[in-house]
Amino acid sequence: MRPIEVCDRLGRWSSGRGPLYVLLAARMRRLIDDGELPPGALLPPDRALAAALAVGRTTVVAAYELLRSEGRITRRQGSGTRVAGSQSPATIEDATVDPIFLDSLEARDDDVLLAICAAPGDPPPQLAEAYERVLPALREISGDIGYYPYGHPVLREAIAERYGDRGVPTSPDQIMVTNGGQQALSLLAHALVSPGDQVLVEAPTYPGALEAFREEAAVLRGLPVGLAGFEAAVRERRPGLVYVIPTYQNPTGSVLSPLVRERLARAAAAADVPLIEDEVPADLGFPGTTPPAPMAAYSETVISIGSLSKSVWGGLRIGWIRAAAPIVNRLARLRAVHDLGGNVPAQLAAAHLVAQLDTLGLAEELKHRHDHLRTLLAEHLPTWQIPTIQGGQCLWARLPHGDGNSFAQTTLRHGLAILPGSGLDVTGASDPYVRLHFRAHPTELTEAVTRLTTAWHAYNPPADRVHPRPAIAI
């Protein structure tokens, strides 16, 4: 097992109280007992793990010694450090090690600020109001078993109408409601990607999409954000799928111009390559910004996905897919096998919220928090390079030295969880970057920058840098 893989599995290991070696041993003990580090697995050498975790070698040696004394690992000269025992057939293979997903599984009772997943910290008051509005309708339901694999017709209609308002005429049978944008991505990956297919993505991009494509054994190919070289890549590589975040891109915040959208949509259609545009961040513009029309405006073959997780609340778990009706039909058959459809009360409430998306006051709040974070960063960490953005929820910061992985390990020990760039980029070019989100309250952002600054001054980049994940760049 490579150090980076163990490191990803360790999550927020250093955020508790007590000596670092005890915390490290405690987290490894749990991973061994849960079978996440399976019997027989070869663990990284002391020095390599120490470098990946940005700690001294003695911390790793002491943690390994503790686990060895408990009989959980074996250490032999020549054959390295292994988890004790032999492989059991009941081990669950291939669970994700992506930090975004692992962080969502962490207990929330520690003092760590800025969870890695960027999303609203509280639902807006309009969410409770929307539920109050649907209560009478819920009382009246009769003769309806409530299973809607396509999504509830009321919400499909509301989403279709919003596309129409944004310049993309849409009928409800082109919409499928999903449990968040992530289910939309995993369904599409399952439907459209066969093992070994090349999937063309931006580098960097949303890591949850990369995980969904990896689940289908895709070969990921990266193009720079802005997609220079797209036409040639589509022509020559013949990818099975293209995935783009055109508006307030996650993590860079960039926006594709109408001209580029049209070019990409037409080039993908001409090559008969399905193109997914992920519009999950599209409602996160700052005041006065009007994003260009969705890429679906330029070609009927573009598949769009969206979600209320960032504009309303992640806990609502409402997302959607917009595609040609035959694709929606196929996806609904796949989806029915997974969960038979989503929660109906949430969908009825969401129908009210979709209609109010432009009046939730989100733009002002986002801009306020963005400005607060950016001002503090400019003051305390002036050597960091951070591009200007017009919307979104994250800043994409280039560190002047070191690498995102080892720095994120250092911030964790100062009570701050940030996302290192490496896991977002299949080309390996984002290793010097970290992603910081500004969804937290301003007081929390202030404290986060204090911790970030202390961590930066304490940061000592390891001489033997952790190598990035294997990358395939075009």
Ligand X SMILES: Cc1ncc(COP(=O)(O)O)c(C=O)c1O
Residues within the interface to ligand X (CB under 6 A): 180-182, 206, 208, 245, 250, 278, 280-281, 307, 309, 314, 319
| Opening angle at CA 244, ends 240 and 247, nearest 5 | 165
CA atoms within 13 A on the CB side of 199: 30
The Cα 94–Cα 112 span in angstroms is 27
**How would you list the strands of the sheet with 73-76, edge to edge?**
42-43, 80-83, 73-76
Min separation Cβ 49 and ligand X, Å: 29
DSSP run (H or E) holding 83: strand 80-83
Instruction: Kindly tell me which of 48 and 346 has the beta carbon lying closer to ligand X.
Output: 346
Instruction: Kindly tell me which of 170 and 250 has the beta carbon lying closer to ligand X.
Output: 250
Min separation Cβ 250 and ligand X, Å: 4
The Cα 465–Cα 443 span in angstroms is 34
For residue 470, how many other CB atoms are within 10 A of its CB?
8
Min separation Cβ 188 and ligand X, Å: 11
Min separation Cβ 117 and ligand X, Å: 6
Peptide bond into 251 cis (omega under 30): yes
Instruction: Kindly tell me which of 251 and 468 has the beta carbon lying closer to ligand X.
Output: 251
In the three-class reduction of DSSP (H, G, I as helix; E, B as strand; rest coil), residue 75 is classed as strand
The Cα 408–Cα 445 span in angstroms is 17
Instruction: Kindly tell me which of 180 and 240 has the beta carbon lying closer to ligand X.
Output: 180
Min separation Cβ 394 and ligand X, Å: 9
Min separation Cβ 307 and ligand X, Å: 3
Instruction: Kindly tell me which of 64 and 320 has the beta carbon lying closer to ligand X.
Output: 320
In the three-class reduction of DSSP (H, G, I as helix; E, B as strand; rest coil), residue 221 is classed as strand
Min separation Cβ 41 and ligand X, Å: 30
The Cα 378–Cα 382 span in angstroms is 5
Instruction: Kindly tell me which of 174 and 393 has the beta carbon lying closer to ligand X.
Output: 393
Instruction: Kindly tell me which of 26 and 334 has the beta carbon lying closer to ligand X.
Output: 334
The Cα 358–Cα 369 span in angstroms is 18
